[in-house]
Structure 1
Amino acid sequence: MEKNSLFTKLQKFGLNQYEAKAYVALLSIGTANAYSISKASGIPRSRIYDILESITNRGIIMFEETSDNIKNYTALPSNVFLERIREEWSSTYNDVEKELKLIEDKDKKEDIYVSTVKGEKNILAFCKNLMHDAKNQIVISIWNHMYAELLPDLQLCIERGCKVSGMTFEVDNPINFLDKHRKSKLHNTIEKKPWFILSVDSKKLLYGHSSELNGNAFYTDDPTHIYLLEDYIFHDIVINRLIKKEDNEHQAVKMISEILNEMKVNLKR
């Protein structure tokens, strides 16, 4: 790992750039005085003393003073330092989580709403969080990219006893309980963009463009939204299974195509 990358990551733990450089330099050279740390880290001598004082006060490094008033510094071992960071982060996370939940529950409005979730990382994180909270069932319609991303979380849900059902697209061997959609020109995506639908316990719903498109998804707890999109998935499963069972699959697909075309013509009138 490049040191610049390491310094950037240490700054996420609450250190500034000079503090990160001082700690890493001291960890690498062992016990040393301010002059040696300044030379090894590249921190200007005019700043090294206040930097060392700052991280000493935080308990990240320790010092001993010699009889001739020279301070020699030693870094906290990395495993001790990291465990401290982990405990501090975990404590802060738990406190913030409780406070935010209280605010969210206190100010909860009864009005039905749909909120937007933007970007690939946020959409995937939202999906995983919903599945983590699932107690009874998950209903899902999903394309290959998101399927690969969320497969471990789906498997954990099944292991916890959640029922999983739904449809997959362009997935070669989906897990049990998920149907594989037949290849069909009738099922072209809107603007050729794959989508997803994730319903959890029939109480929470996230749907939209597949996460790799880095676009928008939409979250709601509106029962009507949830009923309609779950019903869409169940109908898709039923039709898919019926066509597979038909002796003349081509004729079945043709019939569905004619019905859909007739509906589209009627809508345009």
Structure 2
Amino acid sequence: MDDSELTDVLEDAGLSPYQAEAYVALLGLGTASATDIADSCDVPDPRIYDVLRDLESKGYIETFQQDSLTARARNPEVVLEDLRARSSKYLDAAETIEERWDQPAITDHEVSIVKRFETVINRASELIGEAEHQIQVGVNPEQFYAVESALRDAHDRGVNIKLSICTGPDERTPPIDEIEGSCTEARHREIPAPFFVLVDRTWTCFAPHSHSVNEYGVLVKDRTHTYIFHWFFLTCLWEIWETIHTERTPETPTTYVDLRHAVRDIEPLLNEGASIEAVVSGYVTETNEEVELRGRITGVEYTGSSMGRTEPVPLAQLAGRISATLETDDRTYEIGGWGAVLEEIEAVEVTIVDVRYE
């Protein structure tokens, strides 16, 4: 670093231009009179005395009388400590700027646009790690491995995970033994798709697929907006694609995290005269109190429903209002789906415990 660069740095550290020049000159001279110092830099002679007194008050130099005012640089320990402290602040500021550019602060109710795909991946992994009930995921094989560990931890906690593996012409799905343990059910979409994670009906992480011209991501914490993303997942990443892995067996109870899927399967059974015992977990719509109810599902209702149907209804026909009637030992409840307002209970999970024909 030459004298000019050192002078600039000292100015950044808080010295005036004259103070910085005088100090750099004195470092080269060792001990010198005020006039010699002025001759070695651009400080005017009338100003050199004030400049030296200011440097002494800051702890940079010391002065003494020897025929004339003479100065020498003090042990630089104080100066170096100050510079290092400033350097640390600059580094902290640089890191803070990078973090805030990389990932804006996420508030309780926000839609944020971020500039890096890595930010979306990292945030998705964090949210998967906090999931309590359900996760919907749409990833390509590389992205699957990026969030696999977080998915496995969530699966071990009992979170219901629907995983859509989306591949391009030159990509293959991960082996089934690597998918097992990371999800409740997996399907394969044979078309590239955006990166997608939806957690507990509240958070969505979304980024365009790799062929997109612009790199950006969207982080959403809002139940209304995530409901729209939920339908994107159902219609584009899930409904029509082949199941490649499922934990569902004839012996295990069937658990639904969307009332629409439950109603679609339940309606034909009711029309055949089945008695359906179920456990509904969710929230009281008026108080948001968490509840778990056990009883018999005795009816379903949705916009455009038709009596006597023996085949499952198309998903698109279930896009309107939908509800199920649950009779417990104590009373009868109207169960609604995601965002229920008119029904007493918003269902988060519906588990079919038993189906009997009497």
If the length of structure 2 is used for normalisation, what is the TM-score? 0.35
Tell me: higher relative CO, structure 1 or 2? Use CA pairs within 8 A at least 6 residues apart: 1
User: Whose helix proportion is higher, 1 or 2?
Assistant: 1
If the length of structure 1 is used for normalisation, what is the TM-score? 0.43
User: Whose strand proportion is higher, 1 or 2?
Assistant: 2
Larger radius of gyration: 2
